[in-house]
């Protein structure tokens, strides 16, 4: 299916008269409600009022993509607004606002649509086409929407975390451990100066290291003063299951389950391009 298959002129507002992102989303929601896709408008508004950080994607200071999944929605719908003046949200601004709503059963397509709009709107020339459009039909018929094909199935790229936090093999082990704790991460990919994947430092490697070097019961106990000399390279695992961004998500999820793997680096040509965890799959596909 093409991205244009989800964009209808009656759900496009040009110009969008809104000074805030909240006002813009309200105007777009009204267009979606007019399409009879909303079962319970009040319930959907309560869901939107929760303002979770994952509900909004700011695209390069050019556009906003708002997306919600809720039982109050009966069918997947997209509404787009193009403002004549920049709309501000915190430190970000944009003239294009996209609203995507979907029922839980459309989780896969919902995520594909959000990612598709983010990729399309990350191009400055496409945003220029949006802001130059004179009518709603002009927006609905943009070439960029007609040329973008959505895959038939969900892929790793649709759920992975892009530009994940990483570490280097030379970083002191204690510093890397502190970074994992402070950021709430259970693992850090280890990369070289060119972004090439060298290994993985996870809680498992840290536990194994501290058990064998710190706990008095261990026959391999070493004085704490020597721990600071250890680097990530000394502890990281080099045997890492990697996947490609184009792989079907169903295949990768099955592989992670069969191999009892919690997380996988996503690589292309040996370079790290993303990170996927079991939590990502559960949170993004099952959570409303």
> How far apart are alpha carbons 255 and 11 in whole angstroms?
40
Burial profile 92-118: b = 16 or more Cβ within 10 angstroms, e = fewer: bbbbbbbbbbbbeebbbbbbbbbbbbb
In the chain, what are the domains?
Answer: 3-150 (3.40.930.10), 161-285 (3.10.580.10)
Render each residue's pLDDT in the chain as its tens digit; 288 residues.
Answer: 899 999 999 999 999 999 899 999 999 999 999 988 999 999 999 999 887 788 999 998 789 999 999 999 999 999 999 999 999 888 889 999 999 999 988 888 998 899 899 999 999 999 999 999 999 999 999 999 999 999 888 899 989 999 999 999 999 999 999 999 998 899 999 999 999 999 999 998 898 887 877 666 555 555 554 555 889 999 999 999 999 999 999 899 999 988 999 999 999 999 999 999 988 888 787 655
Q: Tell me, what's the pLDDT at 239?
A: 92
The full DSSP string for 198-249 is EEEEEHHHHHHHHHHHT-TTSTT---GGGGGG-BHHHH-BS----B-TTSBH
H-helix or E-strand containing 86?
Answer: strand 77-89
CA atoms of 208 and 218, how far apart (whole Å): 11
pTM for the model: 0.74
d(CA 128, CA 131): 5
d(CA 186, CA 181): 8
């Amino acid at each position: 299916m093409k991205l244009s298959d989800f964009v209808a002129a009656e759900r496009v507002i040009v110009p969008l008269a809104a000074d805030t992102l909240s006002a813009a989303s309200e105007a777009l929601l009204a267009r979606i409600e007019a399409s009879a896709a909303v079962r319970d408008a009040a319930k959907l508004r309560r869901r939107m009022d929760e303002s979770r950080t994952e509900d909004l994607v700011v695209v390069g200071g050019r556009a906003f993509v708002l997306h919600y999944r809720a039982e109050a929605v009966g069918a997947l719908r997209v509404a787009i607004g193009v403002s004549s003046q920049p709309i501000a949200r915190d430190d970000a601004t944009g003239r294009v606002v996209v609203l995507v709503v979907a029922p839980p059963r459309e989780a896969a397509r919902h995520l594909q649509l959000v990612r598709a709009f983010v990729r399309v709107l990350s191009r400055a020339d496409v945003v220029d086409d949006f802001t130059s459009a004179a009518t709603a039909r002009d927006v609905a018929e943009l070439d960029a929407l007609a040329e973008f094909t959505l895959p038939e199935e969900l892929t790793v790229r649709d759920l992975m975390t892009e530009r994940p936090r990483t570490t280097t093999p030379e970083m002191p082990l204690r510093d890397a451990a502190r970074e994992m704790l402070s950021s709430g991460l259970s693992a850090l990919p280890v990369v070289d100066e060119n972004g090439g994947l060298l290994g993985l430092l996870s809680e498992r490697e840290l536990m194994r290291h501290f058990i064998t070097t710190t706990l008095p019961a261990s026959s391999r106990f070493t004085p704490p003063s020597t721990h600071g000399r250890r680097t990530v390279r000394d502890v990281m695992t080099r045997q890492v299951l990697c996947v490609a961004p184009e792989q079907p998500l169903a295949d990768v999820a099955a592989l992670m389950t069969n191999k009892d793997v919690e997380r996988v680096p996503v690589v292309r040509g040996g370079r790290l391009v993303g990170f996927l965890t079991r939590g990502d799959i559960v949170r993004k596909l099952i959570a409303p």
